A and B are shown apart, each in its own frame.
Chain A
Amino acid sequence: MDISTNYLGLKLRSPLVVSASPLSEDIDNIKRMEDAGAAAVVLYSLFEEQLRGDRLELHRQLEAGTESYAEALSYFPEPDEFKLGPEEYLRHIWEAKQATRIPIIASLNGSSLGGWIDYARQIQKAGADALELNIYYIPTDMNLTGTEVEMTYIDIVKAVKAEVSIPVAVKLSPFFSNFANMAKRLDQTGVNGLVLFNRFYQPDIELESLEIKPNILLSTPMAMRLPLRWIALLHGKLKASLAATSGIHRASDVLKMLMAGADVTMLCSTVIRHGIPQIAMIERDMVDWLKEHEYESVNQLKGSLSQKNCPEPAAYERAQYMKALTGYALPRT
């Protein structure tokens, strides 16, 4: 059974890729992911904004209380140099590369154009096989138009593509007026892959303390419906690879995503919940199903139920919703 696939121009042994999560903060985990059959690993994200915040915070903390009182003109020794950039992350990429043979995809979350470009360049230098841009942006400014928001994405991707030679994927949210148009425009920038979709952590309210709490919920299989539709709609229409992420928990989810047209499927919540060996379980189940159903390869399966190839293309469009409604009969009273 040939389960290999191509993603971002990289030849992968299977379509099972581990997406960015805290698990990859530990090199041993990355090794175990490789051992469990992961075809590639997307590292946890480097947050430029956090580094920037850390630098300002460090500066303020070091200055706080200084030169005010004769006996304590400062409170900390200041080293000659600080490692305030992405050094640790870069070292992590390098160590992950040394420890494994699978492609290591770095993940970058920037907050300024300069940060995106500079860090992307450094990530390439550190040896990453590819770069995933995690554009995590919630426009709350009421004066900002949708066009402006979209241009921000395009500009970032263009700028990074111009700077690095390694493949670049972009992880997106589905919240665009016309996602298809957005995908097309991004594709025109030469981006090597689209990762669909980013899951935003939604806030929650703590009733007793009356506080807003970031409540991180792991995905459920329901979450895969949205990327499934869009991958199916986009398959065959773009040069860029398509990666499916969100709600992929079982082999059946992987198979569905591949049939919709994904080049790879990204696993996260299921690995966090069930442990790294879950990757091997999914692969085994996937291979069993493929064998059982007499498929020869993943490539054969890929996109077989995309909008382009499926027997009922309209099923992926709005009409399908109308049909579902009209087909729903109220119980007789």
Chain B
Amino acid sequence: MKKTPIFKTIDGAEAAAYVAYRLNEAMAIYPITPSSGIAEWCDQWASEGKKNLWGTIPGIVEMQSEGGAVGAVHGMLQTGAMSTTFTASQGLLLMIPNMFKIAGELLPTVFHVTARTVATHALSIFGDHSDIMACRSTGWAMLGAASVQETMDFALISQAATLRSRLPFIHFFDGFRTSHEVSKIEMLDEAVMRALIDDRLIAEHRARAMTPDKPVLRGTAQNPDAFFQGREAANHFYSACPDIVQKVMDEFAAQTGRKYRLFDYAGAPDAERVIVLMGSGCEAAHETVDALAAKGEKIGVLKVRLYRPFDGKRFVEALPKSVKRIAVLDRTKEPGATGDPLYQDVVTALMEETAAGRSQLKVVPQVFAGRYGLSSKEFTPAMIKAIFDNLSVAAPKNHFVVGINDDVSHTSLAYDANFSTEPANVVRALFYGLGADGTVGANKNSIKIIGEETANYAQGYFVYDSKKSGSMTVSHLRFGPDPIRSTYLITSANFVACHLPTFLDRYEMLRPLVTGGTFLLNTPHTKEAVWSQLPTPVQETLLAKQAKFFVIDATKVARESGMGGRINTIMQVCFFALSGVLPKDEAIAAIKNSIKKTYGKKGEEVVQMNLKAVDNTLAHLHEVAFANNKVNGTGALLPPITPNAPAFVRNVLGKIAAGFGDELPVSAFPNDGSFPTATAQFEKRNLALEIPVWDEKTCIQCLKCVAICPHATIRAKVFDAAELKNVPATFKSCDSRVPEFKGQKFSLQVAPEDCTGCRICVEVCPAKNKTEAKLKAINMQPQAPLREAEALNWDYFLNLPEFDRRKIKTGSLRQQQLLQPLFEFSGACSGCGETPYIKMLTQLFGDRMVVANATGCSSIYGGNLPTTPYATNKCGKGPTWCNSLFEDNAEFGLGFRVSIDKQKEMAEELLKKLSAHIGDDFTNQILFANQDDEAGIFDQRERVEVLKQKIAKLDLPEAKLLIPLADMLVKKSVWILGGDGWAYDIGYGGLDHVLASGRKVNVLVMDTEVYSNTGGQMSKSTPRGAIAKFAAGGKPAGKKDLGLIAMAYGNIYVASVAMGAKDEHTLKAFIEAESYPGPSLIIAYSHCIAHGIALDTGIGAKQQKLAVDSGQWLLYRFDPRRADRGENPLQLDSGAAKAKVSDFMMSENRFKMLTKSKPEDAKKFFAQSQVEADRRWKFYQNMAARDLKAETTPPTATA
């Protein structure tokens, strides 16, 4: 008898993990968005001791890459375990070689794939089918789920089918749209799993496994005489598979009542127009078809479930016999093909079935190809209707795209964006929150409450910012009495809430509000005063839409309830009070109950704080009566981009920044992914509530603040007093205190609209006010009253001349920091520990720098649209930057070097050939130029400019060849940047090879000791005892010593630095690395939000210092040139420990948390870490103390 169904609201990742965990024994995992969540769930459950279906805790191992993970899974399968992994996109591509093997060996397994875009002209973390389509030839079966419910169901169906068919399965569902959608679903009971999974088949799998007790040999090498036949020998497994899957589906239906077919049709039984697609778009199509068919339209949708093996017969059978025209929609692009993959399959199937006489269709339908939804591009009922409309016209557009305006190839279908099929009985709510305010968490909680405590269905989808600081989140919530198929963002909302008042000045958030809808604003203004504080367009919209308007000072309520900046609970109470989804009292009781459940484990204080916030809320929630008010607002919305920006930045990037990127046509975009640099300066984000203000009398002009600023928003200049003309009233300057700059003026200036308010500058400031010691040379003050004047000062400051680079002693921080940074205003976390290093590099070498950047945090804050931080100097020179992949970055950078060196060599060869025409002396000046310092490089640049003028006048083939190569005669600095996930794990093999190549490349590893960008998964750099994702019980192994490994080569410059501990040491290492004629490796300690430190208090640099003071992190430089001089190449630059390692560990939540979850293990790890730190220190000290001269001198013979 079927048990009472249990409903839960979970996301697709958890749904897949729920089944995968229960049905596997061994897993190999690796983080990649958007699949990481599946692995994280499994790792967490394992660390909590949860058991699988057979009563054992699955064994989980994190690998160094997806290539490693699939290799391990292959091994697990060959030796008889039920094994799996989870991945997407590039990760899936890395698995392909092994997937061919696994299929060739008929090993049963299911890989759960959150289908994601494969990087082409750009990387995208979002969803489409380009990754799974790249696996078509591997021989794997593919089963695609369209919703969170189907994700759970198909995870089981594919597992049952793989055991029965022996074909490995990709179980895929759309990245983000399904993997991250929170939805109310019926949970699968373990009894259903037991019913579908046949233990005998598992026994057979084990019986086939490799064992010395029954030896076999696999993975042979075969020759032309044998290979082909062997390849055909497994055909019957493929032909049997569709029947097997259908049988499993039928058994599943018998158990659960949920019926699936390989191809599921929905719509009019006599449909003439049908669209065919797979993945989450099926749900939106189903909703649209239901709405339009109800009005008499003869349309339908065919949802493809089992994509491989493609059962042509069943496909045709599933179509209504009346069908005349079909649109096949692919969520991928295969340029140059006769059509995208699903289209080709459909055409082939129809042709074959018709030719074989098996088709029951009245006519052979016309088939049209369409493409939609790349990189999670919206796919809405409006677009779906446009597709059906296209099928109605006499000559439908073929190979069309929908969802974008293709004004270049003119392939797009026009659609009416106002068309909606949102059911009237669904409550639709939009919330605009600040990342840090807890809005998304509260909304997820609301969905849980409504989904699990009422009969309503619930759905939540969350749109995040690509910036990591001050990011906006938009929550899309739907609640209704029927299952919700709306797999698209809300375009018409009954309820809109704005959780941060300043967002209202920048984003048009009332556009989707329905007439008579409710708008809730968190504002410090009273219900009487708020009206005149609204932007004019907001007033106009509220009046036009006759909205209900409510205000609350949630920030104040949060503060008074002890919640700090977390207004989540307060706004959640307001939502329930205003939306009417639940009776108010019931809602409040449910919220309180949920608070106890959610926060109970964190202690009574946390619970009480939230309960107090709930109780304090309603008294502060007020309706604003404005129906008779006049429009008297604060003016237009703020432009997302400053008006002085170039046209492309304004018109294209600006549109993206404003949230209207979807409206940009194809022609707006570059066709090869090239974008201009220096664009972040035009996006004034005004994030800081407080900014640093300079006290020139206290300042000692050390410029530590300038060096550590992660966002390059505090800068210094030295200039002639004569430059001070038309000085803004509040602009400050004073005499320079640097002896070499005596008689010149000095100014320290903050960019008020770019500063993120992280305070790290104030924390590192060593100067103290003599009468009030709490004050330093820079002090935080509220931004709003300062904004206007300081913005003027900033502009004035920027227009002051840059100091002549040739006159700066770059080894002295207080001088070096006068160099213009060519990396500014990035979207990194406020207080980021990585960006100060990049900024320093660009100050030193930016005008000649070529950057290869591994995927990760630095590629996101370095290169995510809309605006990017790499900048140019006044001559237009600056770093040129590219991200290839995660795993190949060292090789990519080496490619730069080889190419640049070759082009330089060619230029020199051509120069020599042209010597007679341009002058031998001039040629020699260029060929033998000393470019070791700034002056040398400047001179060479000038010579090359002259050279270009000279050769332009020559009508010689060598001159024509030299023109595009001439700039290569000026030194180019190749920098390979990335994090520890790349350098220690996935890219280590390549990094090792590149370092061993001896070529002149510089590698900067920004070591945060975890995979920061994907949410803090353990890497081989993670220290012992640190809690990380995939190391929920604390990492049991110690940190890999990458520097030591590199030093072993003997000819690599290696440095270990921590700017927060010793900034001039970092500077020295950068300069030495660049000057070293071979490869260099700098490992830079980077504090990180993933360390569990209060970044917002500016603590980062202090943590770096504590890491060094405790001996947890060493400072050293290993310069092979010293060995050439007979000196010890290793210089240990940090002293003996001044603090205990445990002092450092207890100051960071990544370690401290273990004392709260596994105190005994924590004690053990802390003690081991101290022993290791002591040993490491002694080891390095001994190495650095060796007298190489004595060691290399032959011993004197003694009598």
Contacts and interface: CB of A to CB of B under 8 A. Distances in A.
A81 interface: yes
B597 interface: no
A77 B1017 CA distance: 9
A211 B1152 CA distance: 26
B1015 A75 contact: yes
Interface in B8-65: 33-34, 36-37, 40, 43-44, 47-48
Nearest to B1163: A88
Contact of A65 (B436, B609, B860): B436
Interface in B985-1028: 1012-1016, 1027-1028
Interface stretch (A15-23, A48-56, A191-199, A231-239): A48-56
A47 to B, nearest CB: 14
B1157 A68 contact: no
Contact of B44 (A52, A77, A84, A88): A77
B829 to A, nearest CB: 7
B602 A72 contact: no
Nearest to B1027: A76
Interface string A227-253: 000000000000000000000000000
B1013 A71 contact: yes
A62 B1149 contact: yes
B1089 A64 contact: yes
B1149 A76 contact: yes
Interface in A63-109: 63-85, 87-88
B1089 A63 contact: no
Contacts of A55: 602-603, 605-606
Determine the main DSSP class of A at the interface with B.
loop
Given A63-B438, A77-B43, A69 B468 contact: yes
Contacts of B125: 70-71
B435 A58 contact: no
A222 interface: no
A77 B41 CA distance: 9
A61 B1013 contact: no
Contact of A67 (B36, B435, B1028, B1096): B435
Nearest to A115: B604
Nearest to B463: A70
Interface centre among A52, A62, A68, A83 (most CB of B within 10 A): A68
A69 B603 contact: no
Nearest to A84: B603
Contacts, number: 149
Contacts of B40: 77
A182 B435 CA distance: 53
B561 to A, nearest CB: 13
A216 interface: no
A68 B435 contact: yes
A59 interface: yes
Contact of B1015 (A62, A73, A80, A211): A73
A323 interface: no
B605 A87 contact: no
B464 interface: yes
Contacts of B436: 64-65, 68
Nearest to A205: B773
A329 interface: no
Nearest to B768: A210
A98 to B, nearest CB: 16
A62 B1152 CA distance: 12
Contacts of A318: none
B822 to A, nearest CB: 25
A293 interface: no
B464 A68 contact: yes
Contact of A63 (B441, B471, B1027): B441
B440 A67 contact: yes
Contact of A77 (B860, B1032, B1094, B1156): B1032
Contacts of B1128: none
B934 to A, nearest CB: 36
Nearest to A87: B1159
Interface in B1120-1162: 1149-1150, 1152-1153, 1155-1157, 1159
Interface string B957-987: 0000000000000000000000000000000
A68 B471 contact: yes
A70 B474 CA distance: 11
A83 B566 contact: no
Interface in B428-458: 435-436, 438-441, 444
B465 interface: yes
A71 B1156 contact: no
A75 B462 contact: no
Contacts of B468: 68-69
Interface in B658-673: none
A75 B1094 CA distance: 13
Contacts of A273: none
A61 B1014 contact: no
- Residue from B176, B462, B466, B603 whose CB has the most chain A CB atoms within 10 Å: B603
B441 A59 contact: no
Given A61-B1094, A70-B464, A56 B605 contact: yes
B1029 interface: yes
Given A55-B606, A63-B441, A75 B601 contact: no
A151 to B, nearest CB: 25
Contact of B441 (A67, A79, A80): A67
B599 interface: yes
B602 A65 contact: no
Given A58-B1153, A75-B1092, A69 B435 contact: yes
A76 B1150 contact: yes
Nearest to A61: B1149
B10 to A, nearest CB: 14
B1032 A70 contact: no
A18 B603 CA distance: 33
Contacts of A67: 435, 438-441, 444, 462, 473
Nearest to A80: B48
B782 interface: no
Interface string B597-616: 00101110110010000000
B743 interface: no
Given A68-B464, A210-B768, A58 B1032 contact: no
Contacts of A60: 564, 1094
B601 A72 contact: no
A83 B36 CA distance: 27
Given A66-B441, A210-B773, A52 B605 contact: yes
Contacts of B871: none
Contact of B1156 (A56, A69, A73, A83): A83
A88 B1156 CA distance: 9
B792 to A, nearest CB: 32
Contacts of A78: 44
B377 to A, nearest CB: 15
Nearest to B48: A80
Interface in A106-128: none
B1165 to A, nearest CB: 15
Across the A-B interface, give the 9 residue pairs with the lowest CB-CB distance, nearest first: A68-B435, A55-B603, A72-B1015, A67-B440, A77-B1032, A61-B1149, A75-B1016, A70-B464, A65-B1089
20 contacts: A60-B564, A61-B1093, A62-B1149, A62-B1153, A63-B438, A63-B566, A64-B1092, A64-B1095, A65-B1089, A66-B441, A67-B441, A69-B471, A71-B34, A71-B1015, A74-B1016, A75-B1016, A76-B1092, A77-B44, A81-B1157, A83-B1157
Interface of A: 52, 54-85, 87-88, 210-211
Given A56-B606, A61-B1153, A62-B1092, 7 more contacts: A61-B1093, A62-B602, A67-B441, A67-B462, A69-B466, A75-B1029, A82-B602
Interface of B: 33-34, 36-37, 40, 43-44, 47-48, 125, 176, 180, 435-436, 438-441, 444, 462, 464-466, 468, 471, 473, 564, 566, 599, 601-603, 605-606, 609, 768, 773, 829, 860, 1012-1016, 1027-1029, 1032, 1089-1090, 1092-1096, 1149-1150, 1152-1153, 1155-1157, 1159
